[in-house]
Amino acid sequence: MRLQASFHLPPSIISRLQASVKAAGALVILLGIASLPLGVPLLLIVPVVVTSAAALLSRFPPVTLLRRLLMLEPFAVAASALVLFRPDGWTAFWTLLVKSSLSLTIVIIFSATTPFGDIFMLLRRLKLPGILLTTIALLYRYLFVLADQVERMRRARAGRTFAKGRRLAWFLNSGVIGHLAVRSVERAERVYAAMRARGWE
């Protein structure tokens, strides 16, 4: 697993837009998608065109975009499945699935074309509570550190694993997760000490 920061996309019209403009645009599109009725699949053509245009303008490689979307798709499917109990279940399900996938695509495009720092500054300007901002910033910062740590631990284990088998893999992975949890707690303590050392109260 290798985490990549968001701005590895080639520069595009969308990536050059200001974060606040992009966020407002994304919000308008999302509200538009959300307000479409469930039973009329033909109406979906409009958001499909808008989202495809956004994807093209952002110069997002289609395969990467689809791969990222697929990772989030289980949530969309699970949420959409709830409408299967309605009388027009299948139509509503497909419409809702397309709507949620389009919404996710918009969010993916927004987050991939906007550096985290810009998103963070935007949240700060929107006057989000300080503790929430600190949590988001720390989460983002340590995601990369943790991903590197997982990779190192996984490699170290793989280097000394000579047998194959799903059971063993599960056993090893659970060990990695356990170790990571303990190390994360220890790191959290050291980070907190470092914060206090520079005046955090």
Q: Which stretches of the chain bind another protein, using CB under 8 A?
A: 5, 116-117, 120, 137-138, 140-142, 144-145, 187, 190-191, 193-201
Cβ proximity to another protein, 85 vs 201, nearer residue: 201
What's the min distance (Å) between Cβ of 146 and another protein? 10
**CA dist 147 → 3, 19, 23, 200 (Å):** 7, 27, 28, 26
Check if the beta carbon of residue 107 is closer than 8 Å to that of residue 55.
no
What's the min distance (Å) between Cβ of 58 and another protein? 21
Cβ proximity to another protein, 167 vs 190, nearer residue: 190
What's the min distance (Å) between Cβ of 52 and another protein? 31
Cβ proximity to another protein, 5 vs 13, nearer residue: 5
What's the min distance (Å) between Cβ of 115 and another protein? 8
What's the min distance (Å) between Cβ of 39 and another protein? 44
Cβ proximity to another protein, 5 vs 53, nearer residue: 5
Q: At what angle do helices 45-57 and 19-35 cross, to 10 degrees?
A: 160
Cβ proximity to another protein, 70 vs 138, nearer residue: 138
